Amino acid sequence: MMKHYIFYLLITITLPFAAVSQNGTVQNANTPKDAQVNVTMTDFKKNVLNNEIVVFKSKLNGKEFQGLTDDAGRFSVRLPSGDTYEIFILGFKDSASYNFLEIPALKGNAYYKEAFVVDIEHLPAKSFVLEDCNFETGKANLEESAYGVLDELVAYLNRKDDEKIELGGHTDNVGTAAKNKLLSQDRANTVRAYLLTKGIDPSRVTAVGYGMSKPVASNATADGKAQNRRTEVTILQ
């Protein structure tokens, strides 16, 4: 029995038949009441995606089961039967829900002889903003609250150890273009320096100051200015 589901991200799920153990009608205590789930993840060009975290969240009790794709873009996890699981793919500080996997309840001596197969085609985000990575006004000194998100970036880079990134510094339009470009470069350099103190290879991190040249919102409002003052991470490879 096979069902295919197509989304913005493509997930194909193969559902196995339930088999019956060879112990007659008597319940065998060793008969597994969970199911193996084999996950494979690639991009839309069939390139394997390694070090990606996939989470299966139980609809019954909210319990989460997760796996990390290996160098072949694969992992296996065992999930209790009689439940439906929402499938999430974790990005940096966020997650996206893409599909649901139902594992029907088993009766008597029934068990799942074959694994459920979940094939995911996914396009990871190529850039993201470091929310709460704030600096002192007009300076390149990090505020204390910024270290939390930077430590999460360190953890992300340790997991995605084959990625190189650009740290883009951006400002609002207060002040001259030349001063803002210099300030944004200094701020990007500060973030890069922090990552390096945490053991990230210098060759993996580039810092670029864009000043006020790439706004993402109108500088006519305080909220727009706040959005434009940002440190943006771009995945280079």
Structure-block tokens of residue 58 = 């139980």
Q: Which amino acid is located at 27 in the chain?
A: Q
Q: Same CATH topology for 2-121 and 127-235? A: no
Kindly report the length of the chain. Answer: 237
In this prediction, residue 33 carries a pLDDT of 83
What is the CATH architecture assignment of 2-121? Sandwich (2.60)
Strands 64-68 and 53-58: antiparallel
Q: Which tokens belong to 225?
A: 């200015």
Any idea what the Cα angle at residue 43 is, between residues 5 and 153, rounded to 5°?
A: 115
- Separation of alpha carbons 115 and 33, rounded Å: 13
One digit per residue, the tens of pLDDT, for the chain of length 237 reads 222 233 334 555 555 655 544 333 334 556 678 999 999 999 999 999 999 999 999 999 999 999 999 999 999 999 999 999 999 998 887 777 778 999 999 888 888 989 999 999 988 889 999 999 999 999 999 999 999 999 999 999 999 988 999 999 999 999 999 999 999 999 999 999 999 999 999 999 999 999 999 999 999 999 999 999 999 999 997
Assign a CATH topology to domain 127-235. 60s Ribosomal Protein L30; Chain: A; (3.30.1330)
pLDDT at 25: 36
Contacts of 147 (CB under 8 A, 6+ apart): 194
Give CA–CA dist 167/104, Å, rounded: 46
Strand boundaries in 113-186, DSSP class E:
116-121, 127-129, 165-170
pLDDT value, residue 15: 55
122: left (phi over 0), alpha (psi -120 to 50) or beta: beta
Q: Supply the pLDDT for residue 31.
A: 63
| pLDDT recorded at residue 237 | 73
Q: Where are the domains of the chain?
A: 2-121, 127-235
**In this predicted structure, what is the pLDDT of residue 189?**
98
Place of tokens 């009441």: 33
- What integer pLDDT is reported at residue 12 of this predicted model? 57
Q: Are 171 and 229 in contact (CB under 8 A)?
A: yes
Please indicate, yes or no, whether the overall pTM of this predicted structure exceeds 0.85.
Answer: no
Spatial strand order of the sheet with 53-58 comes to 64-68, 53-58, 83-90, 95-103
